[in-house]
Amino acid sequence: MAYALDTNGSISIGSTQFDPAAIEVFLLPIDKLFRSAFRLVGTEIQTNLNEAKELTHSMRRTNREIAFAPHDEIIAKQIPGQDSAQAEVARVVIRNADAVTQTAIDACADEAALRQLIEDESL
């Protein structure tokens, strides 16, 4: 969800407009890692943890696809001289590591834990 300060001074968060007196612009988060998970709670912008987790899962899936790519190519193209059985074993290792990361994301209790996991896992 995006936020914007309109030229007339009103603030838009997603499709909802707010009176500038209701939100102090300096309270808008500078770090936009979880921007689409921002929600207005009273007069404060907060990060919705479940939506932040979904964003983190998307990062995880993207990394998994990148890791799978060379092995998928070997399996799909049946490249001569390449062992598709070894490629499938490599995919299982990637899947198992990804399952651990998936569980860790789901177990995060707050935004700080998610951020630390993103850093630790290089998502």
pLDDT tens column, 100-117: 999 999 999 999 999 999
Q: Are residues 107 and 56 in the same domain?
A: yes
pLDDT of residue 1: 45
Q: Lowest-confidence range among 33-37, 56-60, 62-66, 103-107?
A: 33-37
Q: Are residues 28 and 80 in the same domain?
A: no
Distance CA 2, CA 37 (A): 9
This prediction has a pTM of 0.74
Residue range of the domain that includes 37: 3-47
Q: Are residues 41 and 76 in the same domain?
A: no
Distance CA 42, CA 47 (A): 13
**Would you say residue 8 has pLDDT above 70?**
no
Q: Are residues 101 and 67 in the same domain?
A: yes
As for how many domains the chain has, the answer is 2
